Chain A
Amino acid sequence: GAGVSQSPSNKVTEKGKDVELRCDPISGHTALYWYRQSLGQGLEFLIYFQGNSAPDKSGLPSDRFSAERTGGSVSTLTIQRTQQEDSAVYLCASSLFGVHTGELFFGEGSRLTVL
Chain B
Amino acid sequence: GENVEQHPSTLSVQEGDSAVIKCTYSDSASNYFPWYKQELGKRPQLIIDIRSNVGEKKDQRIAVTLNKTAKHFSLHITETQPEDSAVYFCAQWAGGTSYGKLTFGQGTILTVHP
Contacts and interface: CB of A to CB of B under 8 A. Distances in A.
A46 to B, nearest CB: 11
Nearest to A45: B103
Interface stretch (B56-64, B67-75, B94-102): B94-102
Contacts of B46: 103-104
A107 interface: yes
Given A42-B105, A45-B103, A106 B44 contact: yes
Interface range on chain A: under 10, 10 to 19, 20 to 34, or 35 or more?
Answer: 20 to 34
Contacts, number: 49
Given A101-B32, A101-B93, A103-B34, A45 B102 contact: yes
Contact of B101 (A56, A91, A107): A56
Given A42-B107, A101-B32, A106 B100 contact: no
A101 B45 CA distance: 16
B106 A108 contact: no
A33 B43 CA distance: 14
A43 interface: yes
Contact of B104 (A42, A56, A101, A108): A42
Contact of B43 (A41, A91, A103): A91
Nearest to B93: A101
30 contacts: A31-B100, A33-B102, A35-B104, A41-B106, A42-B89, A42-B104, A43-B44, A43-B107, A45-B103, A45-B104, A48-B100, A48-B101, A48-B102, A56-B98, A56-B101, A58-B98, A58-B101, A97-B100, A101-B31, A101-B51, A101-B93, A101-B100, A103-B46, A103-B49, A104-B34, A104-B36, A106-B43, A106-B44, A108-B43, A109-B43
Interface of A: 31, 33, 35, 41-43, 45, 48, 50, 56, 58, 91, 97, 101, 103-104, 106-109
